[in-house]
Amino acid sequence: MAKGQLFIISGPSGVGKGTIVKRLLDETDVTFSVSMTTRKPRPGEVEGVSYYFVSDEEFDRTVEEEGFLEYAGNFGNRYGTPLAPILENLESGRDVLLDIDIQGALSVKKRYPKGVFIFILPPNMAELRKRITGRGTETEDSLNRRLGKALEEISYIDKYDYCIVNGELDEAVTRAKAILVAEHSRVTEDIYKLIDTYKEEV
């Protein structure tokens, strides 16, 4: 059985990454990687679906056992990507999708360089500003900080294998699906094993 592939999607806040990820989960067989966090559940969040909610002690234990693909702190809480479920899915032939920030993606690349790294770009900064402003949660100062951070994140695009410009959602999703399909047409060790079976049949 061919192994699954790990797909890592990143992009600036407001670029529409979460919407693309949701469409891929709804329209393909890819499995979503659920993160572990030390923060408390918010209303509507479901254990094992939204996150794995754990104590600081359990999080520390997972770090000591090298059980995370990557982990980081954020506003006093910690978040990590459990390694075991990802490896189990990949070994079973299932693709896994990881929605993660640039810092986390770079950590994943060091630990699992075979992953496929996809960066989502806005069509332009004016559109990104419009999308962030549309949330109604930003002051002018915080908006400018977010846009500055977006430019900083975009500077890491050379660390990624693919980029998708999310100007029109359906087109962006189509391109993302095409990447998932194309990656399974690469010449890999599994293909060489298949060719070996041809030799046995002759």
**Is there a contact between 199 and 46 (Cβ–Cβ < 8 Å)?**
no
- The parent domain of residue 50 ranges over 34-94
How does DSSP assign 97-111, residue by residue? EEE--HHHHHHHHHH
pLDDT in tens, the chain (202 residues): 678 999 999 999 899 999 999 999 999 999 999 999 999 998 888 998 889 999 999 999 999 999 999 998 766 789 999 999 999 999 999 999 999 999 999 999 999 999 999 999 999 999 999 988 887 777 888 888 889 999 999 999 999 999 999 999 999 999 999 999 999 988 887 788 888 889 888 7
Within 10 angstroms of residue 160's Cβ, the number of other Cβ atoms is 19
In this structure, are 70 and 158 located in the same domain?
no
| Matching residue, tokens 């660390």 | 159
In this structure, are 11 and 108 located in the same domain?
yes
In this structure, are 160 and 191 located in the same domain?
yes
The reported pLDDT for the residue numbered 146 is: 86
**Domain end (from 55, 70, 94):** 94
The reported pLDDT for the residue numbered 162 is: 98
In this structure, are 134 and 63 located in the same domain?
no
What are the residues whose beta carbons fall under 8 Å from the beta carbon of 153, sequence distance 6 or more? 10, 11, 12, 101, 102
In this structure, are 71 and 150 located in the same domain?
no
Q: How many domains is the chain built from?
A: 2
Give the span between the Cα atoms of 117 and 27, in whole angstroms. 20
**Domain end (from 49, 75, 94):** 94
In this structure, are 24 and 66 located in the same domain?
no
What are the residues whose beta carbons fall under 8 Å from the beta carbon of 160, sequence distance 6 or more? 10, 105, 117, 118, 119
Give the span between the Cα atoms of 130 and 145, in whole angstroms. 14
The reported pLDDT for the residue numbered 124 is: 94
CATH assignment at residue 168? 3.40.50.300
Beta strands (DSSP E) in the chain are 6-10, 31-32, 36-37, 52-53, 68-74, 77-82, 96-99, 116-121, 162-165
30 DSSP 8-state letter:
P
The reported pLDDT for the residue numbered 134 is: 80
